[in-house]
């Protein structure tokens, strides 16, 4: 057990700085940007009410418009 510990410390001192710098150069994965468009049916056609980066925001606006009596749809772009 002591030999393994000494070996691990020796390897870490030899390889450590280069392995740490290589690990910090890696960029975190990015999620694709999504947008949600809220459409409202007014009169004879559909109108774009707004574009939102989060589905929660689009849903909140859509629910408010629905309570006002409009027909609403959310599309993901």
**Per-residue confidence band for 28, with pLDDT thresholds at 50, 70 and 90:** confident
Q: Is residue 67 part of a domain?
A: yes
Q: Is residue 71 part of a domain?
A: yes
Reported as a single tens digit per residue, the pLDDT across 57-71 is: 999 999 999 999 999
Q: Is residue 44 part of a domain?
A: yes
Number of domains in the chain: 1
Q: How far apart are CA 38 and CA 48, in angstroms?
A: 6
Residue predicted with more confidence, 25 or 74: 74
Q: Is residue 19 part of a domain?
A: no
Look up residue 46 and give its two tokens. Answer: 């559909």
Q: Is residue 14 part of a domain?
A: no
Q: How many CA atoms lie within 13 A of 16 on its CB side?
A: 7
Look up residue 60 and give its two tokens. Answer: 């909140």
Q: Is residue 68 part of a domain?
A: yes
pTM of the model: 0.60
What is the 3 state secondary structure string of 45-68? Answer: EEEEEEEECCHHHHHHHHHHHHHC
Q: Is residue 1 part of a domain?
A: no
Q: Is residue 60 part of a domain?
A: yes
Domain that holds residue 65: 36-76
């Amino acid at each position: 057990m002591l030999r393994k510990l000494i070996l691990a410390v020796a390897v870490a001192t030899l390889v450590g700085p280069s392995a740490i710098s290589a690990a910090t150069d890696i960029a975190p994965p990015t999620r694709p940007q999504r947008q949600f468009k809220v459409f409202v049916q007014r009169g004879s056609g559909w109108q774009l009410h707004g574009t939102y980066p989060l589905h929660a925001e689009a849903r909140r606006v859509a629910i408010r418009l629905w309570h006002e009596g409009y027909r609403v749809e959310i599309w993901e772009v």
